Amino acid sequence: SQQGEEDPQALSIQEGENATMNCSYKTSINNLQWYRQNSGRGLVHLILIRSNEREKHSGRLRVTLDTSKKSSSLLITASRAADTASYFCATDEGGNTPLVFGKGTRLSVIA
Amino acid sequence: EAQVTQNPRYLITVTGKKLTVTCSQNMNHEYMSWYRQDPGLGLRQIYYSMNVEVTDKGDVPEGYKVSRKEKRNFPLILESPSPNQTSLYFCASSLAGVKGYTFGSGTRLTVV
């Protein structure tokens, strides 16, 4: 079952601009994670935010979580051409439940 | 180097010919999982495993089998592949309770 839904499906920005991607989910979650995938390659884990956290930073990445709205956002500041990739959110419901991915946002950063 | 290794990277096969895609991790992870990725459908989970000898169906298990006889290995078996199993397959693993998955590089399977 698809849990997270990313928005927008595709995003094109100029290098140096900020990129914001959103993720909405349906059920209560334990953790929410963001992953990056370069074309045809394996996903790379970016950041994990727990359900009792509201914001987390890692380098140029900022993730927010609003459990009342069942939504999260990923902000990439000062984007670079190398940030061009697909970005996925993934959620789990705790315990032994598996990680469920959304369909992703395709980000293009134009130099 | 900590990694998840899948083999082969590319495979073209014919309908009905049994095949196995291997997955091995060297991080002593408890969780392992198989996903398939198709355009417009994102990643869909096929099977997952919490630990040795414990496996469970994901969202799209039909036509696939898995086994977890050792902690490091989690092969994906297609007993009788069909063209609708043409896809990009990923194996992933994680520590229990942490859930940040490490992904393999993928196996692009074409069934003709």
Question: Using the beta-carbon criterion (under 8 Å), do A40 and B104 form an inter-chain contact?
Answer: no
pLDDT of residue A27: 87
pLDDT tens column, B12-44: 999 999 999 999 999 999 999 999 999 888 899
Q: Are A19 and A79 in contact (CB under 8 A)?
A: yes
Residues of B in contact with A90 (CB under 8 A): 101
- Segment 3-62 of chain A within 8 Å of chain B by CB: 30-31, 33, 35, 40-45, 48
Task: Measure CB to CB from residue B106 to each of A41, A90, A96 and give the nearest one.
Answer: A41
Question: Using the beta-carbon criterion (under 8 Å), do A42 and B43 form an inter-chain contact?
Answer: no
Higher pLDDT, A88 or B97: A88
Question: Please, which residues have CB within 8 angstroms of residue A72's CB and are 6 or more apart in sequence?
Answer: A22, A23, A25, A32, A34, A49, A63, A64, A65, A66, A89
pLDDT at A39 over 90: no
pLDDT at A94 over 90: no
Residue A101 in contact with partner chain B when CB distance is under 8 A: yes
DSSP state of A69: T
pLDDT of residue B99: 67
Structure tokens at B15: 């309908």
Angstrom distance (rounded) from CA B54 to CA B35: 17
Question: Using the beta-carbon criterion (under 8 Å), do B42 and A101 form an inter-chain contact?
Answer: yes
Residue A98 in contact with partner chain B when CB distance is under 8 A: yes
Instruction: Give per-10-residue mean pLDDT for chain B (112 aa).
Output: 94 97 96 93 92 93 97 97 98 83 96 98
Question: Using the beta-carbon criterion (under 8 Å), do B42 and A100 form an inter-chain contact?
Answer: no
Task: Measure CB to CB from residue A102 to each of B40, B42, B48 and give the nearest one.
Answer: B42
Angstrom distance (rounded) from CA A55 to CA B54: 35
pLDDT of residue A13: 97
| % of chain A beyond a pLDDT of 70 | 96
Q: To 5 degrees, how large is the angle CA A80–CA A86–CA A89? A: 115
**Which of B33, B48, B99 to mutate against chain A (most A CBs within 10 Å)?**
B99
Per DSSP (E only), the strands in chain A are 5-7, 10-14, 19-24, 31-37, 43-50, 55-58, 61-66, 71-76, 85-92, 100-101, 105-110
**Chain B, nearest residue to A3 by Cα:** B44
pLDDT of residue A6: 84
Residue B40 in contact with partner chain A when CB distance is under 8 A: yes
Direct distance between the N- and C-terminal alpha carbons of chain B, in angstroms, rounded to an integer: 36
Pairing of strands B42-51, B54-57: antiparallel
Question: In the block, which residue shows the tokens 């950063």?
Answer: A109
pLDDT of residue B108: 97
Q: What is the mean pLDDT of residues A77-103?
A: 89
Angstrom distance (rounded) from CA B8 to CA B107: 6
